[in-house]
Amino acid sequence: MTKPNSQRSKPTISIIGAGRLGTALAIALSSKGYPIRAVAARRPSHARNAISLSRLPSTTLALGADQLEQLPPSDLILITTPDDVIAGIAETFAKLGRSPRQRSIFLHTSGALSSAVLAPLAKRGFHTGSLHPLVSVSDPRAGAEALRGAFYCVEGDSVAVRSAKGIVRDLDGNAFTIKPESKALYHASAVMASPHVVALFDLASEMLMSCGLQAKEAQQVLTPLVQSTVNNLKQTSPEKALTGTFARGDVATVKRHLKALSPKQLAEALKIYKLLGLHSLQLAAQRGLDPKLAIQIKNALKK
Ligand SMILES: NC(=O)c1ccc[n+]([C@@H]2O[C@H](COP(=O)([O-])OP(=O)(O)OC[C@H]3O[C@@H](n4cnc5c(N)ncnc54)[C@H](OP(=O)(O)O)[C@@H]3O)[C@@H](O)[C@H]2O)c1
């Protein structure tokens, strides 16, 4: 009888990249019984920090970027470096070659790049793929929590995908696949939904600071508003989740907003308000906004 995934012995792992995601994965995977053999970073001291933060055994090797040839044999090598250095790391490992008994799998965690960036390794007979968690990791410990139950975009050759899906299952997550050529667009979507939301939040805070609030107060009062919006989005479609001025078609209020945003120092906020306002209007139209009101708002936004 085949053992369920949780009871099978876990593949040994080495992690190249000891930053936010690499350390969060080290914490999350070691807690699920994955033996982490080595952690590498540009600076060996950063690899050592990640090992200590993840409470990995003292036998875990800490390596620098110029010591990758010392990497111990591992079933799975996770590349969690910035996107721009992944190709170089693939070249380095491809040059190091492989012994006939070592059939390692390489997975990188970039959202924008596909497994094609690991082509030099695929040519050498390694299995290659990508495993991108759709979560924002700014702190390794909180990130390790966020990785549990997250959605993961997975692609690559069949062996690499199977291995990536095993990790996702062990982290109680959900895996989905897209075409490798769609990864840049997929990642641009993720940027819209996370870092751009942070940028939008920052603009909204600046607007409140123009009303006299301190930066901290602005963040404090706006956070529950964002949270309630996210809660709505968890339960319903964007057009139903849309509330406020555009959903109601309050023409006079839109005009008041535009006037309030007219000072020079708010020019960036005005531009973004108008652009997103046009999209909100489309959503409002889908939920039945009176077309006459929609035209009046559109004209005001396009002035
Ligand atoms: N953070 C997220 O929310 C998140 C979410 C999903 C996917 N990702 C993806 O995960 C990857 C890493 O992102 P991150 O935010 O964790 O980056 P990060 O915090 O900047 O960490 C990058 C790590 O890579 C190491 N590094 C850089 N060049 C290296 C080299 N040539 N050899 C070995 N190690 C090297 C750095 O070493 P030093 O510490 O010595 O500088 C650092 O430890 C990216 O592909 C990103 O797209 C991130």
Handedness of CA 206, 226, 191, 247 (dihedral sign): negative
Half-sphere exposure of 248 (CA within 13 A, CB side): 8
**284 C-alpha to center of ligand 1: Å?**
40
Cα separation values, 49 from 40, 61, 146, 301, Å: 11, 12, 21, 51
Report d(CA 199, CA 297) in Å as an integer.
25
pLDDT tens, position by position, 245-280: 999 999 999 999 999 999 999 999 999 999 999 999
For range 202-209, the mean pLDDT: 97
Q: How far is the CA of 217 from the centre of ligand 1 (A)?
A: 32
The pLDDT value recorded for residue 23 is: 98
Cα–ligand 1 centroid distance for 22 (angstroms): 7
- Give yes or no for residue 21 CB within 6 A of ligand 1: yes
Position 1 pLDDT exceeds 50: no
Beta-bridged to residue 15, according to DSSP, are 39, 78
Residue with CA nearest ligand 1 atom 28 = 42
The pLDDT assigned to 6 comes to 52
> For the chain, how far is it from start to end, CA to CA, in angstroms?
70
Q: How far is the CA of 82 from the centre of ligand 1 (A)?
A: 4
pLDDT tens-digit series, residues 127-186: 999 999 999 999 999 999 999 999 999 999 999 999 999 999 999 999 999 999 999 999
- Residues 50-108 have pLDDT tens digits of 999 999 999 999 999 999 999 999 999 999 999 999 999 999 999 987 654 467 899 99
Contact yes or no for 226/202 (Cβ under 8 A): no
| Residue 223 reports pLDDT greater than 90 | yes
Q: Which of 15, 42, 67 to mutate to test the pocket of ligand 1 (most atoms within 8 A of CB)?
A: 42
Rounded to whole angstroms, what are the CA distances from 145 to 14, 142, 211?
20, 5, 37
Torsion from C-alpha of 71, 77, 82, 84, nearest 10 degrees: 90
Tokens 């840049």 correspond to what residue?
A: 184
Least Cα distance to 34 among 213, 152, 150, 169 occurs for: 169
Among protein residues, the one whose CA lies closest to atom 19 of ligand 1: 19
Q: How far is the CA of 259 from the centre of ligand 1 (A)?
A: 44
Q: Is the pLDDT of residue 2 over 60?
A: no
How far, in Å, from the CA of 85 to the mean position of ligand 1?
9
**DSSP per residue, 142-196:** HHHHHHTT-EEEEEESHHHHHHHHHHHHHTT-EEE---GGGHHHHHHHHHHHTHH
Q: Tell me, using a 6 A CB cutoff, whether residue 183 lines ligand 1.
A: no
Contact 206, 198 (CB under 8 A): no
pTM of the model: 0.90
Please name each of the domains of the chain with its CATH number: 5-182 (3.40.50.720), 193-302 (1.10.1040)
Which atom of ligand 1 is found nearest the CA of 143?
3
Task: Please state, as a whole number, how many other Cβ atoms lie within 10 Å of the Cβ of residue 88.
Answer: 12
For residue 26, is pLDDT > 60?
Answer: yes
CA dist list (Å): 65 to 15, 27, 40: 12, 21, 7
Q: Is the CB of 41 under 6 A from ligand 1?
A: yes
